[in-house]
Amino acid sequence: MPIVTVYWFPERTHEMRQKVAEGITDVISKATNVPKDIVRVLFVDVPTTHWSKGGKLVSDYEEPPKYLKDQKK
C-alpha cells in the first residue's frame, strides 16, 4: 500500500487538504497501477516555530510569506 506524507504549515484548509489528497492519490494510482482505495496520504502540520528556511525559523520572519498570509482558514 503506497503511503505519502505531506509536511506543511498548519494554516491549510480542509478544502486544500482534500484537493491535495485527491491529486496525490490520482498520480500514485496511475503511476503504480494500484487502486485508489489503497493509497494513503498523511498530512503533518509543522508549526512555523519548528520549521526553518535559510537558517532562520519561519516564525521569526517579520511578515509571513504571501501564500500563507492570504489564505483563509
Count: domains in the chain: 1
CATH number of the CATH domain containing 64: 3.30.429.10
| Residue 14 lies in domain | 3-69
Tell me the one-letter amino acid at 45: D
Indicate if the pLDDT at residue 73 is higher than 50.
no
For residues 50 and 34, give the distance between their C-alpha atoms in angstroms, rounded to a whole number: 35
The 10s digit of each residue's pLDDT in 4-22 is: 999 998 888 899 999 999 9
For residues 50 and 52, give the distance between their C-alpha atoms in angstroms, rounded to a whole number: 7
Decide: pTM greater than 0.85.
no
Q: Which residues make Cβ contacts (< 8 Å) with residue 68, sequence separation at least 6?
A: 9, 11
The grid cell for 16 is 486544500
The 10s digit of each residue's pLDDT in 40-64 is: 999 999 988 898 888 988 888 766 6
